[in-house]
Amino acid sequence: MYYIVTGAAGFIGSNLVKALNERGENNIIAVDNLKNADKFRNLVDCDIADYLDKEDFRQKIQEGFFDGLIKAVLHQGACSDTMETDGRYVMDNNYQYTLELLNYCQSEEVPFLYASSASVYGAGSSFLESRECEAPLNVYAYSKFLFDQIMRRRWHKRSTQIVGLRYFNVYGPREQHKGRMASVAYHFFNQYRTEGRVKLFEGSDGYDNGCQLRDFVSIEDVVRVNMYFLDNPDISGIYNLGTGQAQSFNDVAAATINTLRRAAGEPELALAGLQEQGLIEYIPFPDALRGKYQSYTQADIRALRSSGYAAPFLSVEQGVGKYVEQMLKAAG
C-alpha cells in the first residue's frame, strides 16, 4: 500500500515525505510538476518508491491504475502564487485537480488530507471555519474557497476521512525554491546576510511600520498536525492550521536578526535598537498589493483543539530562531 504525496517536491509536501520516512515509511509515490527543476533538491534526502509527473498521475488515477493500492493521499500540490493572473490555470490546478482526487478517494475509501489556505478569509478580521467569515481577494484564494465549499456540500455523503487544513503563514526548511513566495523569515535571513539589514513594508490599513500582524506557523507544527490526522482516520473536517497567536513582521525581523547576531557573537537588540541602528528598513507599501493584502491574520484554532490535537505551537521567537540556525548550518 502506498502513501501518495502530491506537491511532493514542494515546501510542505517534501517535509511530509521526510516525516513519513522518519516514521519508517518509504512506500511513497511522490507526485509533482518539476517545471521548476531545482525543486528536486527537496527530495534528495528522502526515500520514495516512485516519482510521477502530475499529469501522468491524473491519467493513472482516471485509468484505475492505483485501485486498491493507496493507503492515504496527502494532497499538497497547487499553484500557490497569490499574484498569478491566469485564472484558468489556477482553477484547473487547484480546484479541478483536487476535485478529481476527492472523487477518487471517496470511491476507493482512501483517507484524503488536502491543503486549503487561510487566504480564503480575505481582509476579514474573523478567522473561523465558517462561510460568513470567508471572502477571498484573489483567484488563488477563490480556488481554495470553492473546493472547501464543494467539500461541505458533500460532507454528509463521505465514505472515509476528509481533512482540509487551512495553512496560515508557514515558514521553514525546503522552501528555497519558492522565490518571492518564500516566507519573510527566509527573505529576511538572506537580506541581512547580504545587505546587513532587512526590509519591511511601511504601515498600511491603520498599522504602523512593520506592525502588520500574521499568524506565522513553523513547518514543524504543520507536519505534526498532518501526522495527527493521519493517525486518527476517524476525524474529518476543515481546520485552521496556525498557532492561534498573531505576531508582527517586526517580530520576525527581530528574531531573524538577533539569531544571526548571536551566531556572530554580537549582543541581541530590542526592536528600537534594531531600528535606530538601521538594521530594519521600511519601504513603501506596493500599490499592486493594495486591496489584496491581509494585514492581519490569526487562526481560530478551537476546532483543531476540539479534534483532540493538544500539542503546543512554536512562537516566532522559537520557530524562526531555529529555522535561521538551520539555514546558517546549511550555508556553512
Q: Which residues are catalytic?
A: 140, 178
Give dist(CA 139, CA 85) in Å, integer. Answer: 8
Whether 257 contacts 188, CB under 8 Å: yes
Give dist(CA 232, CA 235) in Å, integer. Answer: 6
Show the CA angle centred on residue 54, arms to residues 172 and 129, nearest 5°: 55
Within 10 A of 217 (CB to CB), how many other CB atoms are there?
A: 27
Give dist(CA 28, CA 46) in Å, integer. Answer: 10
Residue 185: exposed, middle, or buried by beta-carbon count in 10 A (0-12, 13-18, 19+)?
A: buried
Within 10 A of 132 (CB to CB), how many other CB atoms are there?
A: 8
Q: Which of 241, 108, 53, 91 lies closest to 165, judged by CA?
A: 241
Q: Number of helices (H) and strands (E), helices first, in the chain?
A: 11, 13
Half-sphere exposure at residue 26, Cβ-oriented, CA atoms within 13 angstroms: 8
Whether 260 contacts 314, CB under 8 Å: no
Backbone angles phi, psi at 184, to 5 degrees: -65, -30
Instruction: Look up residue 152 and give its three cell numbers.
Output: 461541505
Residue 199's DSSP bridge partners are 281
Give dist(CA 143, CA 9) in Å, integer. Answer: 21
Give dist(CA 225, CA 147) in Å, integer. Answer: 21
Residue with cell 528574531: 255
Whether 326 contacts 173, CB under 8 Å: yes
